[in-house]
Every structure is written in C-alpha cells, then in structure tokens.
Chains A and B, each alone.
Chain A
Amino acid sequence: MESRVLKPILAIYVALFLLFLYGPFIVLGILSFQQGPEGGPQFPIVEWSTFWYQHILGLAPPSRVSPLPIGISLFRSMTLAFMTMVTSTVLGVMAAQAFRKNFRGKTTAFYLIVLGMIVPGVLVGLGSALVATTTGIERHWWSTAFATHVVYTLPFAFLVMLAIFNRFDSTVEEASWSLGVSPSRTFRKVTFPLIFPGVLSAMLFAFTLSYDEFSRTLFSSGREQTLPLAIYSTFSVEIHPNIFAFGVLTTLFSFALLTVYAVLMMLSVRRARRVAIQEAI
C-alpha cells in the first residue's frame, strides 16, 4: 500500500516541521548561556555561563550593556493583562448570555464583536491614537491601551463562551427558576459553576493575548512602556544575549501559567464529576 510508504515519509516531514518551529528556540536557549558581558548573540559559545540570567535579575556587576527595563514594564504588563482579562471575560460572558436569546440585530452584534479580532493591531492602535490626540485625551497603558486590548480579547472570550453555551443544558436553569430561585441566584449557583471551565479558558486567552500584545500597544500606550514595547525598543539597537535569557524566562513563566490553568481545570472537572456522582446516589 502507498500509505505504508507515505506515512513514514510524512512522519519525517512533520518531525522536520517541528524542528523548523522549535529551531530558533533551541538556538535561543543555547545562546542565553553565552559568556558575558563580552560574548555576543552568536556562535560560537565562548564559555558557558549564567551571566545573562544574573544580568536580567540585576545581580550582574555593571557593564557596558545596560539592563533591560524589565521590572516596571513587567509590572505594567501584568496589571494591564489582569485588567483586560477581568473586563473582557465579564463582557464576553454577558454578551454570550445575551446570545442565548433571539433578538433583533443579533447578526450585526455578532460581526461587530468578532471584528475586534480581525482588524490588525496596527490599525486599531493608530485609530485610538488619532481619537486620543484629536480629543486631547492623554494616552496611557491603563487607559487607551487598556481599551484597545479589550477590543482584541473580548471576541475570544465571547466566542469561547458562545461555544460553551451551545452545549449547555438549559433545563437545569429552568428547574431552578421553577423552584422559585431568583435569576441572579440561579446564575451564581447553577449556571456559573457549569460554565466555569469555559470562563477559565476565556480568562487564559485574554490574559496571554494582552500580556504579549504589542502592535495595539505601540501607539496607544503613551510614554510608559509595557513589556513587549521594552523588548521592541531593543530591536533598533545592538542585541545582547540578555534578551535571549529573558525569552527563556518568559517561556518558563508561560508554562507556569499553563500549569496553573491545567490544575484549575482538572479540579473543576473533578468537582463536577463528584457532584454528578452525589446526585446519582
């Protein structure tokens, strides 16, 4: 059979494909252990060292390489991502809840929200910068940039919640209402626990998208830099292996975040299963 020939060939191809995806990371990881401060961002490795990691954490002795402005910009990015996460998840859940009913203008509203993830960041950033300059509003990461970030993450939260509500058995809500439980209490005690895995995914999406968002932030955040902007500002100058060490650290951080998400997800699934078993008994 051909598939007997084809399958191994494709398997090798996929392995090469993954190498293509991961190659730069491997190189980045290796070069982050370059000797410092003289070692440059290229091969060969002069001597293995953790200098650039110390440099990032501010532990290295002062040298001609100025430290990345990470501390404060990291704080700004995390705060901004958190604000964006909460706002877009709340708005997304509300909008998806509204979409369970039929109403006029449903399609228009759908496209309006989804448009936020289609329009390129550079245009959204430009537009909000224009609005801000012409109306005299000052641009900050926590105001104008925050608004554009939610424009980007809200559609993701909305679509995730829409998918969750699609598979949602609304008879449990009806049972709760018919037992005289108020709608808001029903939402808190019945609906929300059931949609919680979706909410968690929406939060994860919103946080990571905002945390890494760059093109929207560039024009709309004013003078105080967020983390991606701090990295971008190193593009024009000479790069040093400290940016690679930083890349390794942020990847580890992302994995930590992903682990927290996976654990929370597992706990909520397990709890749902326990509740289901109790009900069965």
Chain B
Amino acid sequence: MTLVTSTSAEVDVGAPASNERGSLSAYVLLAPAVIWMTLFLVVPMAMIIYVSFWTQTTFKIEPRLTLDSWQTFFSSDAYLSSLWTTLRIWLIVLVTTFVVGYPTAIYVGLFVRNKTLQTSLLVLCVIPFWTSFLIRVLAWRPMLGKEGAINIILMKAGIITQPIEALLFTDLSVVIGMTQIYVVFMVGPIAFMLGRIDPNILEAARDLGADFWRILRKIIFPLSLPGVVVGAIFVSVMVLGEFATSAALSGRKVNLLGNIIVTQVGSLKWALASVVGVILTAIMALVIAGLLRVVDLKKEL
C-alpha cells in the first residue's frame, strides 16, 4: 500500500490538475462495484430490518408498521431456545476449532521451517474444500451413525461392546461436523502469525531457561493472538449463519437461528424471518466488535 500511495503522490506533486482527473477516473472505475454492493447487499440488508416491522397476514406481508413479529419471537419458548442453542453451539465450536487447530498451527508455523513442506501441509488442509460443502457434511452420517465407521472401529478394537448411538443426530454430531468444516479457518491465520515469529526470540528464551510451557504462555500465544482473533472472526461469522450442518446431522433436533429463518421463509412468514435476521445480524456485529477489541488488527498485521 505504501508503495502505491508514494508513487501516486509523486505524480500528483508534478501535476496538481491530474489529481482531480485521477480521482475522477478512480470513481468511474469503482462505481460498478460500489453500485452492485449497494443494490444487492446494502438495500437487501436494510430491507430485512424494515420488513421485520411489517404486518404479517397469512401469506403476505403489508407495509403497516407493527411490533407483532418481534413480540412473537420474544414470547415464544421455541424461538428463544433456538437463540440459546445458536449461542451455545457457536461458543462450543469456537473453543473446539481453537483447541483442535492450535497444535496443528504450532507444528505448521513453528516446527516446520521448510517453506515447501509448510505450504504443502496447508494445501493438504485446504483440499477438502474442493468437495461440495453439503457432501462434506453428509459424509459424516456414515462416519457417526449407529452402523457407522467409528462405531465399527471401536467395536472391532474391543473398546466398546454396544454401538454408541449418541454420536449421530445430537448436538455432538453438529459440533463434530462444524469443527471439521471450519477448523481450517482457525489454523490458517494462526499458522501465518506463528510463521512470522523470529526463531531467535524462542532461542533466547530457551537459553535463559524457560521451559516450553512458559514460552508458549509468554511468547508464542501473545504473538499469535491476532491470528486467533482473525480465525475466531471467520469461524464465528460462518457458524452463526449456519443451518445446513444442523439440518443434515441433527435430525432436526438442533434448531439454530438459521434453521428458523429457513422454515419461516418456507411457510412465507417473511416478517418473522426478518426479525430472526436482524437478531442474527446484531449478534454477529457484537461478536466481531468484541473480538476486534482484543487486538488492534490494523497495527498487528
């Protein structure tokens, strides 16, 4: 960025008139993208907020402003419990992706100093993304089911005598599925931050007698924090907007806010779907704002 600005600044000094022409042409170049995002992103998002106050009749919505749909949401146990389920699953998946991903990130970012090997390991993590997201989710069914691969392996190994039925169509299967799908978004940013740590710092700490746990707590973790925050933002945004994983792996037992939106739209209850949409947006904004408070990303990256 600095390079670009400095060269354009030099040009500008020579010809002050070109500055105006320059920014004019910049606006022309930028206009299609900005118009597209405004029309198809900002307007629809504003529409969600607006429609959440509309009046819902059986099959239609009318632009008569009312708080009915909001009251419906907050007076229904089913909807409120889906709000708590969403928050619970989000927090659990945030923790599991971190716990499962961090050691991998340490290995890739700190212990593998060979760039080629490092890149190939990361590519290996990304390859699953080349299969359709929905098929990746479905693939967990034959893994976790009563006659699934995990139960068969555990029984053959003599660890269990009865198949574990709690593996599929529960909270657990949703968490396992989501962790597998989203953990890479945690590993990537953390490994990136860890790869930038100067090995001499770790060397110095070791020479001064610090053991690995102390180095991990005092040096590695603080330096990786921006990566953790970026990863947490990725995972949060995706998990909070989820509905397909829970639809496929919970047997309709886990209802996230996303699932509520889908069913409400399915029965043409647009106003209530919009209320859920606004709540989801608000949660997401709070989560992102909160995470950004942990570190100043602009300074760190």
Minimum Cβ distance to chain B for residue A181 (Å): 17
| A residues contacting the other copy or chain, number (CB 8 A) | 88
B220-264 contact mask (Cβ, 8 Å, vs A): 1 or 0:
000000000000000001101101100110000000001001100
Most buried by B among A99, A127, A170: A127
The total number of A-B Cβ pairs within 8 Å is 257
Chain B residue with Cβ nearest A167: B3
Stretch at the interface among B38-46, B64-72, B73-81, B289-297: B38-46
In angstroms, Cα B107 to Cα A127, docked, is 42
CB atoms of A98 and B180 under 8 A apart: no
Question: Can you name the residue of chain B whose Cβ is closest to the Cβ of A29?
Answer: B139
Q: How far is the CA of A214 from the CA of B238 in the complex (A)?
A: 13
How far is A119 from B98 in the complex, measured between Cα atoms in Å?
22
A41 & B141 in contact (Cβ 8 Å cutoff): yes
A243 CA / B129 CA spacing, docked (Å): 17
> Which of A17, A20, A112 contacts B34 (CB under 8 A)?
A112
Task: Tell me which of A24, A119, A120, A254 contacts B143 (CB under 8 A).
Answer: A24
Segment 26-64 of B: residues with Cβ below 8 Å from A: 26-30, 32-34, 36-45, 47-48, 51, 61
Interface residues on B, range: 35 or more
Q: Given the complex of chains A and B, what is the CA–CA distance between A100 and B11 in angstroms?
A: 12
Question: Chain A contact residues: over half helix, strand or loop, or mixed?
Answer: helix
Given contacts A94-B30, A218-B262, contact A127 B44 (CB under 8 A): yes
Q: List B contacts of A53 (CB < 8 A).
A: none
The reply to whether A94 and B32 form a contact with Cβ atoms under 8 Å apart is yes
Whether A154 and B37, one on each chain, are in contact in the complex, defined by CB atoms closer than 8 angstroms, is yes
1/0 contact string of A117-160 vs chain B (CB within 8 Å)? 01111111011111101100000000000011011001000100
CB distance from A114 to the nearest CB of B (A): 9
Shortest CB–CB separation between residue A160 and chain B, in angstroms?
14
Q: In the bound complex, how far is the Cα of B123 from the Cα of A258, in angstroms?
A: 12
A102 within 8 A of B: yes
Q: How far is the CB of B205 from chain A (nearest CB, A)?
A: 12
Report if A188 contacts B (CB, 8 A).
no
Which B residues touch A255, using CB under 8 A?
A: 130
Contact A150 B273 (CB under 8 A): no
Q: Determine if A25 and B147 form an interchain contact, defined as CB atoms under 8 angstroms apart.
A: no
**Cα A158 to Cα B37 with chains together (Å):** 12
In this assembly, does B132 line the interface, its C-beta being within 8 Å of a C-beta of chain A? yes
Which of A13, A43, A174, A215 touches B149 (beta carbons < 8 Å)? A43
A-B interface, 6 closest residue pairs, ranked by CB to CB distance from nearest? A120-B241, A127-B44, A24-B139, A254-B130, A98-B29, A247-B135
13 contacts between A and B (CB under 8 A): A94-B32, A98-B28, A103-B23, A103-B26, A113-B37, A116-B37, A128-B40, A154-B33, A166-B4, A174-B11, A218-B262, A228-B132, A232-B244
